[in-house]
Structure formats: structure tokens, C-alpha cells
Amino acid sequence: MAPSDHPTSKGQAWFCTTGLPSDIIIEVEDMTFHLHKFPLMSKSRKLHEMITEQETNVTSTRIQKPAERDNDAGDGDEEIEEETEEIEEDQQCCISFPDFPGGSETFETAAKFCYGVKIELSATNVAPLRCAGDYLEMTEEYSEDNLISKTERFLSQTVLKSIKDSIKTLNSCKNVLSLAETLGIVQRCIDAVAVRASAADPSLFGWPVNDAAIEANTRRKGASRTGGMDSWFEELGHLSLPLFKRLISAMKGRDLSSEVIESCLMFYAKKYIPGISRSSRKASSSSIPSENEQRELLETIITNLPAEKSSNASTATRILFGLLRTANILNASEASRTALERKIGSQLEQATLDDLLIPSYSYLNETLYDVACVERILGYFLNGLEERLTTSIQGEEENSRGRSAALMLVGKLIDGYLSEIASDNNLLPEKFCELAVALPDQARLFDDGLYRAVDVYLKAHSWISEAERERICGVMDCQKLTLEACTHAAQNERLPLRAVVQVLFFEQLQLRQAIAGTLMVADVAPGDIPRLSILDGGEGDRESGEEEETTGVVGVARAQEGSSTWRNAVRENQVLRLDMDSMRTRVQELERECSTMKKTIQKIDKVGKHGGAGGGEKGGGWRSKLGCKFKTQVCDSHEPTVVEGRKGRGHRHRQ
């Protein structure tokens, strides 16, 4: 074909403008190609045979028509002209390919190749062209440097050496899947991706589950082209589910790192399942699969998730929670949901409060959030922590510190979750207590977060009984409340009396310990700085304490002139002593109120026993009628006995 001779397309017809009239018409799908026999017959054995067969049939027809014309010699010149036109039309072959691999676009490229036009092979068209070459029998034996050999060289030398190109070619096989399977193109692409992914540096893969990260990687000019990141996850998202499953299976068969496999799975899920990310409720693909297709895809993702903890756990955990919410909506299998909960439990310390707020999609749950699901996830976390503790080698301090840090992070997370769900009117006290005491004591350095949740629950459930209030307050340890929390709790009218007394006692105890920590000073120079004693008692003790404090301050000033440390210590000591005196006054007032209450109850008991008016019950029925459950002894902070501390979460003694 001369340089000026270019094929053109007019509507649904395709013409090759060589200056010669076309002598063959080939129909592919809805396109009609007006071509020439010789270029096609020189490259395609199949077209050569089909054209030869048609020409043979046309020749036999042409021999028969003149014989018929001799029999009708008197019909005139007009009939002869019509017959001549019919013969010319019969000389033009017509061939139809209703099932041509790759359709009209692929046939057009193959036709150009037959005409000698240089074609540009790419990862997206090489598989259909390879199938077209096989369909048209464009072999090397029939013609040198034919289409089959050309496409095979491009596949082996270019496509299969790149992960991204291999996935592109694999994706292009979906329209010619049957023939591509027969020719081995699909399996070769899958094997190439698995091999090159396993040989690549894991650091190149990153974690492309974030849309912003994907865009940044796409725009990056210096991206590696040797099988690294290179945005090949984007091409992965175009694969059909059957091809994607085969690719993941091949990756797992080659012991590919769990990080890469998990990245592929999560990116594919984020691509096709809407609602995985709360920031983007719509699927990133233009066509959203049906509910059944989403369920099948979701269960495929969950089944293939590695059991190991994710390397980028914070991002992975967020997506895992998204998968769990979707599994609840789509009513996925119980096994799939259990596997997801177990996977989340292994890295729960990386979750956020927003992750835990899983809505209740079942009509069986009355609460707004799925509290039972969070309980199960927490159970898997604690079981995994115990297993790691059992299997770890003794003396591994680093692992021990890691477990303790994870446990405290989860403790803070659960306290925040309790505060969030405590305002739910349908949350039963039993459920609240079960979740609150599920964590061991070492999970909380302070119980301030737990106290906040208790306060929110009591405020939202003002109708619960006194016994239930005491049970709710029993989940926290008053000894682990900070001074700020103790001060708030001592003035909290929602707390039962018993809890307030405990808080006041431990608040005073903490004040004394704080003062002791301030006054006990290490010896800077033996004999130069006198020790300051802890002060407590009546007026005489307070005066002697002030003298000792003055002496101590003078000694410190003499030992370290100009040092502000001692002045700050003395100033803090004075503030703490004032706070302690104020607290002692408040406790004494409470003791007097308790004493007055005791005397009043005793008088009522006597009237009930001897007066005969409603006093028929034994043992002071007035106390039981009024619901008084405490002993009538006066609470005295100076007595040696105090409220018994918690011996363990969930096992508390009522007084």
C-alpha cells in the first residue's frame, strides 16, 4: 500500500482507498469491510481457503448462465446487460465473521497488518490480536513474520516482563476468554504477575488503599517501571472477579508476602463495594455490582485475607471495620463475619472510636450500636494477647512492653466507647457492666474514663433502682481516680451514697500521699537539710508542723540559696495542706450527717417496735420499707477500717 493509501471508515462501512475497487466484503459484527483479496490471502490461510471456495462456486455459476442465455436467444439486448451486471456482482466475495475474536476493532487492525500497515502493539490489544491471528490461521509456516509470531514476541519480550502490562493484558482477555485460555495467554499473565510480585522489593508496594495516595503515585513522574508500585493496583481493579480470584490464588501459591496480598484484596474491595470507607459512600467504579455479586465478592475477599496482623494496621483496621459493616448489611455468612471479627481483634489497638461505632442492622438488637459485636471483638483481642503471652519466650521485655501498651490503648478505646453508648436508653445495665469489666485491671492506669462513662449512663438512665446504680458504680475503682475526678465525683448527686463515701475517703488518702511526696526530700548534704514531716492531727500538731516547716525552709535556703525548687515545694505543700483541711472538714460534716441519720433511724425503729403502728415486721421493718441497705455504723475516716477495695473486676462484695 502506498503512503497515501489509507483505510477510511464511513459510518458502518470501512474502505481501503488504494485506488482499486474492492473485490471482497467482510462483515464483522455491525461493520462492513470493503477490502481486496490478494493482501488478505497472502497472510491468512483461512481467508485464502474461504475466498478460493467462493471463487470456485462463482465460476461454476458463470459457466451455467451463458448456457441458459443460449436457450433464450430472442430476449433482447436489455436482458444481456442485466446478466452482465449480475456476473460482475458475483465476482465480489462476501464473507461474514459473526464471532470474530475481539470484534470489528481487532479485525480492522488485523486487516491493516495484511495490507502492510505498521500496527502499534500494546498490552491492551496484543491478546485479542493473538487470538485473531489464530482464528485467521496467520502462522509463520504460511507467511514469514506473520501476526502470530509478531504478537508472541511482544508478549514474551515486553508484556510478561511488567506486572502492570501483564495485568492489562489479562484484563483484555475477558472478551476473548475462551480462545485466550486455549492459547495459554491467561495463565501466562497470571504466572508473570505472581512471579514478579514475589521477586519485587516489598517496600515498593506501599499501601495503595487511599485514593489520595493512588493519585499521588499516578502523577509521580519517576515511578519505577520494573514491577514495583507503578500504580498497578489500579489495573488490578479492572479485572473481573473470576480472573481476580485466580490471580490471588496464584499469588498465595507462590508464598507471596501477606502485605501484598492484603493490599490487593482491600483495594479491589474498595473499588467495587460501596460503603467500605465512610468518607466515600459510593463505589469508585462506574458500575455498582448487584447485592448478590457484592456478597460473593465480599466473601471472596474475607476468605483470602491473611491471618497475620497487617503491617499498616491503622489503615487496614479502618477498612476491615468497613468490610464488617458491609457484611452485616449484606447478611454475609456467619463464618465470614467471624473471620473478620477475629482479624480485627488481632489488631484492635489500632482502631479508633469511630470504627467501633457499628450500627445495629438486625431487628433483634434494641440498641443503636452493635454492642455484642464489640464484645466479641474484644474477646478475640484478649484471647490473642493471652496466646502471645503464653507462647512468648521469658525475658522478652520488648514484647511485654508492646503487649502492655496495646492493652492500655484498648482500655482507653473501650472507655470512650462506653461513654458513647451509655446514653442509649435501651442499653441494659448488665450489658454496660459486662463490657466495662471485660478488661483486666492493668488495662487502665486511671479510671477517669470509666467514671465518665458511668456518669453518662446514670444521667441517661435516671429511672434505674439504687441497687442498679451501685452495680454500675461498682465497675470503677475509686482508688484509681485522679484528684480531679474525685473532686467531681464527691459533688455528683447522681452517684449513690456508698460510692460518694468511697470517693471521699480515697480522695483524702490521695491528698495525704501527695503531701507526703512533696515533703519527703532526698538528702542533699547529710545534716544540712532537716527532713520535713507529714502533718496531721489537731491544732497543736498543725502549729508544730508550721514550726518544722519554717525550720525546714530556712535550712533549705541556707543549703541552696537562690534555689526556686524548694520554694515551689513549700508553696505546693501549703496548697495541698489547705486542700486536705478542706477535705477533712467535708468528711467530718458527712460523718455528723451519718450520725444524725443513725439516731433518727434508731428512734424510728423503737417507735415501730413499741408503738404498734405498722411495726409488725421483725428487726426494724421501717429500715427495710425505706430501702436502707447500709449498716448503721458511722463512717469515720479516722477509723482503721475502710471500704474494701476491689479484688477483681466483676467480683465485688456488697456491704
Structural domain total, the chain: 1
- 311-357 tens-digit pLDDT: 666 778 899 999 999 999 999 999 999 999 999 999 999 999 999 99
127 in a structural domain: yes
For the chain, how big is the Rg over CA atoms in Å? 43
Is the distance from CB of 522 to CB of 549 less than 8 angstroms?
no
Q: Strand 7-10 to strand 24-28: parallel, antiparallel, or no bridges (unpaired)?
A: unpaired
- Is the pLDDT score of 371 beyond 90? yes
- Which CATH number do you get for residue 44? 3.30.710.10
187 in a structural domain: no
- 447-457 tens-digit pLDDT: 999 999 999 99
End-to-end CA gap in the chain: 104
- Is the pLDDT score of 257 beyond 90? no
- 604-617 tens-digit pLDDT: 777 655 554 444 44
Query: Exposed/middle/buried for 143, CB within 10 Å: 0-12, 13-18, 19+?
Result: middle
Query: Exposed/middle/buried for 17, CB within 10 Å: 0-12, 13-18, 19+?
Result: middle
Report, as an integer, the average pLDDT of 360-370.
83
Q: Which of the residue ranges 19-23, 404-408, 440-444, 608-612 would you say has the lowest mean pLDDT?
A: 608-612
* Sequence-ordered list of residues with C-beta below 8 angstroms from that of 341, at least 6 positions apart, any chain: 324, 373, 376, 377, 380
What pLDDT score was predicted for residue 247? 94
311 in a structural domain: no
Q: Which residue has the cell 518544722?
A: 548
Q: Which of the residue ranges 73-77, 130-134, 538-542 would you say has the lowest mean pLDDT?
A: 538-542
108 in a structural domain: yes
What pLDDT score was predicted for residue 503? 80
Q: Taking the CA of residue 78 as centre, how many other CA atoms within 13 Å lie in the half-sphere pointing to its CB?
A: 1
Question: What cell numbers appear for 476 in the block?
Answer: 470503677
Nearest to 361 by CA among 384, 339, 330, 406: 330
Residue-wise over 190-221: b if at least 16 C-beta within 10 A, else e?
Answer: bbbbbbbbeebeeeebbbbbbeeebeebeeee
What pLDDT score was predicted for residue 219? 47
Range of the domain at 130: 10-59+91-171
Handedness of CA 151, 152, 158, 160 (dihedral sign): positive
Say how far apart CA 313 and CA 311 lie, in whole Å: 5
42 in a structural domain: yes
142 in a structural domain: yes
Is the distance from CB of 13 to CB of 34 less than 8 angstroms?
yes
32 in a structural domain: yes
Nearest to 246 by CA among 156, 310, 177: 177
Q: Identify the top-confidence range among 394-408, 409-423, 578-592.
A: 409-423
Is the distance from CB of 130 to CB of 154 less than 8 angstroms?
no
Is the distance from CB of 372 to CB of 365 less than 8 angstroms?
yes
What pLDDT score was predicted for residue 494? 87
101 in a structural domain: yes
